[in-house]
Amino acid sequence: MKSKALTAIFPGTFDPITNGHIDLVTRASLLFPRLIVAIAQNPNKKTLFTLEERVNLASTAVEHLLNVEVIGFNNLMANFAQTHNATVIVRGVRTTHDFEYERQLAEMNRALKSDLDTIFLMPSIAMGFISSTIVKDVAYHGGDITNLVPLHVKTELLKRLT
């Protein structure tokens, strides 16, 4: 059987990128020769940071991972995957609720692009509770987010919220 180099995509809004995201990106980068962190411009979500800001924050957070690149996008995931010759989507799943939602997305992506598979990674135990929404809420209420996000993200988030 002839092997082919795989490009995988780890998509999300990343508003902002968290240590939980970075944990999953790091682990996925060990599984695939090329990993794209695809940052979505989703008109249905009200984001705190612009797409460009989210791309910059994520790029800095994963710059130590040589096979990872960060790209913003605003189209269907299946089309983005086609453009970048990707055949795998990587998604983090924390709960059964996450899984049900992610399963629907995986099935739709597969219906749109028949060779596009989705794999699910569970977060490490220490990171499983972290989400961008929780991080923003804790920061907004003056809680310490030092262990939840990279320092540069903490700095920008606190600037934005004050």
Binding residue positions for ATP = 13-14, 21, 92-94, 102, 127-133
Q: Which residue in 27, 34, 94, 160 is the catalytic one?
A: 94
Q: Establish whether 27 is a catalytic residue.
A: no
Q: Establish whether 103 is a catalytic residue.
A: no
Q: Establish whether 3 is a catalytic residue.
A: no
Q: Which residue in 2, 45, 97, 159 is the catalytic one?
A: 45
- Binding annotation for substrate: 13, 45, 77, 91
Q: Which of 3, 64, 10, 18 is nearest to 40 (CA)?
A: 10
Q: Establish whether 132 is a catalytic residue.
A: yes
Instruction: Using DSSP bridges, classify how beta strands 117-121 and 34-40 pair: parallel, antiparallel or unpaired.
Output: unpaired
Contact by Cβ (8 Å): 37, 14 = yes
- Binding annotation: 13-14, 21, 45, 77, 91-94, 102, 127-133
* Backbone CA torsion sign across 55, 57, 59, 61: negative
Rounded distance between C-alpha atoms, residue 105 and residue 91, angstroms: 10
Contact by Cβ (8 Å): 77, 89 = yes
Q: Which residue in 29, 113, 132, 136 is the catalytic one?
A: 132
Residues with catalytic roles: 21, 45, 94, 132
